[in-house]
Amino acid sequence: MIVGLDAGSRTVAEAEHLITDTVKALGLPAGTVACTHFVRSGTGAPHVACSLAVADRPVGALSVPDGVGLAYGETRTGPAELAEGAALAAAEHAAGSAGRLVLFPGRDELVGTLSVAEVLARSAVERVVVLAHADEPRPGTPLATGDHVRPQWREGRIVLLTMPAAGGRLMPAEVPNPTPCCVDHD
């Protein structure tokens, strides 16, 4: 079962914290798939909701803080606009149509520099693509993970977006702690 949670998180970091707390509270295994989703609630305010795959757990007993939207199956609880965001996140995850994977099988194995083939063999990542390139990278192409790998659901597959890096390597397109736009000028 896929569960959606929406606390109206304004940042990805806030949503990832919600995921971590929820996975820990439920005692979910290391291979749990959990995602962030950019959504607009009924108010139209953009924010980040979460989804996670929950197997063999009593979801109905899930205790969420006041003010958090929760959605699973046909059940919706919490503030209407947040329950709507939670339902959207759960639906995208279930369809494999959208979502940025924070937790997934093999995530902890993706550290340092690995070949594209190693990334595919060690984790749930099913495909590696290079931004603005039509061809997929060769299996032996080195991929410097930066110890921060966040693939996405695309057309039912887990896809890691990468970009060229120095020395003929690749790196994930998403970097931890990116420099904000306009940081160096007034």
Q: Domain for residue 177, yes or no?
A: no
Q: Say if 180 falls within a structural domain.
A: no
Out of 53, 72, 103, pick the residue that ends a domain: 103
Rounded to whole angstroms, the Cα distance separating 141 from 186 reads 40
User: Would you list the DSSP string of 23-80?
Assistant: HHHHT--TT--EEEEEEE-TT--EEEEEEEE--SS-GGG----TT-EEEETTEEESSH
Task: Provide φ and ψ at 68, rounded to 5°.
Answer: -105, 135
pLDDT band at 181 (very low <50, low <70, confident <90, very high): low
12 and 56 Cβ atoms separated by less than 8 Å: no
Tell whether 131 and 91 lie within a shared domain: no
Residues 170 and 186: their CA atoms lie apart, in Å, by 32
Report the number of distinct structural domains present in the chain: 2
How confident is the model over 154-170, as pLDDT tens digits? 999 999 999 999 999 99
pLDDT in tens, 132-148: 999 999 999 999 999 99
Report whether pLDDT(16) > 70: yes
Averaged pLDDT, 95-114: 96
Is the pLDDT at 44 greater than 80, yes or no? no
Q: pTM higher than 0.85 for the full model?
A: yes
Tell how strand 157-164 and strand 127-130 pair up.
parallel
Same domain, 72 and 134: no
Domain stops at, among 103, 129, 161 = 103
Q: Check residues 43 and 149 and name the one with the higher pLDDT.
A: 149
> Is residue 138 one of the residues assigned to a domain?
yes
Are 13 and 94 members of one domain?
yes
Residues 9 and 76 reside in one and the same domain: yes
pLDDT at 84 over 70: yes
Res. 182 pLDDT band, cuts 50 70 90:
low
SS (H, E, C) 147-171: CCCCCEEECCEEEEEEEECHHHCEE
> Are residues 33 and 84 both part of a single domain?
yes
Residue 91 is which amino acid? A
Q: What is the pLDDT of residue 63?
A: 65
**78 vs 142, higher pLDDT:** 142
- Asked if residue 47 and residue 132 are part of one domain, the reply reads no
6 & 90 share domain: yes
Let me know whether 6 and 92 are in one domain.
yes
What does the pLDDT read at residue 180?
58
In a shared domain, residues 95 and 167: no
Same-domain check for residues 121 and 98: no
* pLDDT for 73: 87
pLDDT for the residue 40: 83
Q: 54: pLDDT confidence band, cut at 50, 70 and 90?
A: confident
Centre a 10 Å sphere on the Cβ of residue 135 and count the other Cβ atoms it contains: 7
Q: Let me know if residue 43 belongs to a domain.
A: yes
Please give the residue range of the domain that contains residue 38.
Answer: 2-103
Q: 103, 118, 146 — which closes off a domain?
A: 103
185 inside domain = no
Same domain, 6 and 30: yes
Please tell me whether residues 91 and 115 are part of one structural domain.
Answer: no
Q: Would you say residue 60 has pLDDT above 70?
A: no
Q: What is the mean pLDDT of the chain?
A: 89
